[in-house]
Amino acid sequence: MTESHSKLPEIPILYRDEHLIVVHKPSGLLMHRSPISQDTVFLLQTLRDQIGQRVYPVHRLDRATSGVLLLGLNPDIARDLVTQFESHQISKSYHALVRGWADDEGEINHPVADEEGNNVPQEAVTRYRCLERVELPVAIGRYPTSRYSIVEAEPLTGRRQQIRKHFKHISHHIIGDTTHGDGKHNNYFREHHGIFRLMLTSKQLGFTHPVSLEKIRCDALDELEWQRLNSIFK
């Protein structure tokens, strides 16, 4: 997806009722207008036009990240869901393709600065576990083979680009990350596997419905780029 979008297909809806909506956000789409972007299409406006009513963001995914996104359909519901986020009552997990062989599990506790506003690093914690590993007979850099892992990450705090920065911090750069990643490995996946995006997806989100009190869990759609990895991780 390019920096400027003239038309976007309908945003997939994972769950919807009269109070809230859960969608699958495509990679490359900004949440809303930004003074530093020339984009003309945004998730909030596109979804509003698609369903015919205003939507209220509860959390956010940055432009490059895809996957499960929760929004309220009125301000009161949105505020309730924001409170659930702030009190850590909402469960969320991400899948990422990273360079190197990640540990079976771990916790990254490293301050992260918000580059959009307050540049003072703030406490940030991410737990992760390794789901799959592979070693490919491909020389990238000074080694004759290249190693990669698919990890599940659970951010315990909500700093901007936290997961991307944390995996850079432990030298397991996320594939496709043009800001915090490794260009040589990004180029390999572009040229040999047709993967041009950040390989970070909001995979699962669980919350309590503010009205019915029902426990709801939504899972991301199976994206083409992740399907392409099946031939590698086998």
> Domains along the chain?
13-225 (3.30.2350.10)
Sole residue written with tokens 């079976």: 104
Per residue in 31-85, pLDDT (tens digit) is 976 655 666 678 999 999 999 999 999 999 999 999 999 999 999 999 999 999 9
Element at 165 (helix H, strand E): helix 162-169
**Of the listed 62, 80, 103, 177, which one is catalytic?**
62
Q: Residue 167 is inside which H or E element, if any?
A: helix 162-169
Q: What percent of the chain has pLDDT over 70?
A: 91
Q: How confident is the model over 118-139, as pLDDT tens digits?
A: 678 899 999 999 999 999 999 9
Under 8 Å between Cβ of 203 and 95: yes
pLDDT reading at 2 higher than 90: no
**d(C-alpha 222, C-alpha 224), whole Å:** 7
Is 62 noted as a catalytic residue in this protein? yes
Q: Which residue's entry shows tokens 């997939």?
A: 12
The model's pLDDT over 146-158, given as tens digits with 9 standing for 90+, comes to 999 999 999 999 8
**23-to-11, 14, 46, 122 alpha-carbon distances in Å:** 7, 5, 12, 29
* Alpha carbon distance 11, 14 (integer Å): 10
Q: Are residues 98 and 172 in contact, defined by beta-carbon separation less than 8 angstroms? A: yes
